[in-house]
Amino acid sequence: MLTIDTLCYQSKLRYVNAGEKFAFSILTLLACVVGRSATASCVVLLVTGILTVYKGGIPATRYLQYMAAPLSFLILGTLAIVLHISKTPLDLFAVPVGSFYLTGSRASMGYALQLVLTAFAAVSCLYFLSFSTPITDILNVLRRLHCPRLLLELMLLIYRYIFVLLEIASAIHISQCSRLGNRDYKTALKSFGALISALFIRAMKKSGALYDAMESRCYDGTIRVLDENYPPKAMEIFWIVLFEGLLFLFIFLRKLGTL
């Protein structure tokens, strides 16, 4: 199993109603995207971090490791907003490069910081859902929301095949390493190409065998998964409504310019 999937099943929030967690994550993510407020994003980061680590019992070091990956990507992605090549130096910094300047402005730095915080807070909402809710529970929530059945089955099959392909790729990679298949750069590239081609062939064979197995078990176009339903609690719904209400109220007042 993937590490994030293992942590999900070990979370203390595993048996909280999936609809509550789904609604909290999506509404909070929507608030971050619509509001684009640095203050609101910091609040969301704090709340989702506390819920994931303190309430969910996910190790803080592991949570920070997962959060570091999108953060580094976001920082690299926003460099294009901050850095400019111009003949005129801007007010934040200016590094001369020949007759031009590698420069940036305070306005562009503020916008980049706001963009990073907004995206980072949105990612933390999805991490909260991923670290506390198994994929089968998420699909059950989407099924109740009348999402297309074909889309849900594709999501389930793709999720299942992530583990299958990772296991096959790991076995092939170990076999290649035991035969010095990565002793230098040229050999490593050749081994990687062989791994990809073998993985593609294995995936096609596995998918064919899976479909034959489903057909032999009277597959009628619907994959049925055991639905574990945990009843919602009034206090949890109250705190979700209160938090979302205050968050959207703050964003609304910021949009009006009263804050």
Three-state secondary structure readout of 168-237:
HHHHHHHHHHHCCCCCCHHHHHHHHHHHHHHHHHHHHHHHHHHHHHHHHCCCCCCCCCCCCCCCCCHHHH
Q: Check whether residue 15 and residue 98 sit in a common domain.
A: yes
| 153 found inside a domain | yes
Question: What pLDDT digit, counting tens, does each position of 53-92 carry?
Answer: 999 888 888 888 888 888 888 888 787 777 777 777 777 7
Q: Are the C-beta atoms of 125 and 44 separated by less than 8 Å?
A: yes
Provide the domain count of the chain: 2
Q: Residue 138 domain-assigned? A: no
Q: 90 and 156 share a domain?
A: no
* Rounded Cα gap, residues 114 and 181, in angstroms: 46
Is residue 172 situated within a structural domain?
Answer: yes
pLDDT in tens, 135-150: 888 888 888 888 888 8
Residue 94, SS3 per DSSP: strand
- 258 band by pLDDT with thresholds 50, 70 and 90: low
Farthest-apart Cα atoms in the chain, separation? 73
Mean pLDDT, residues 2-13: 82
| Confidence class for position 110, pLDDT limits 50, 70, 90 | confident
> What are the pLDDT digits (tens) for 174-195?
888 888 777 788 888 888 888 8
Please indicate, yes or no, whether residues 100 and 38 belong to a single structural domain of this protein: yes
Do residues 72 and 159 both lie within one domain? no
pTM, full prediction: 0.80
CA torsion sign, 29 to 30 to 36 to 37? negative
Does the residue 141 lie in any domain?
no
Does some domain include residue 157? yes
The reply to whether 93 and 118 lie within a common domain is yes
Q: Are 193 and 122 within one domain? A: no
The residue segments making up the domain with residue 84 are 3-133+231-256
Regarding whether 236 and 211 lie in a shared domain, the answer is no
Same domain, 63 and 99: yes
CB–CB of 138/225 below 8 Å?
no
Q: Inform me whether the pLDDT recorded for 240 exceeds 70.
A: yes
More confident residue, 235 or 187: 235
Q: How much is the pLDDT for 1?
A: 52
Please report whether residue 143 resides in a domain. Answer: no
Can you state the percent helix, strand and coil of the chain, rounding each to 5?
A: 75, 5, 20
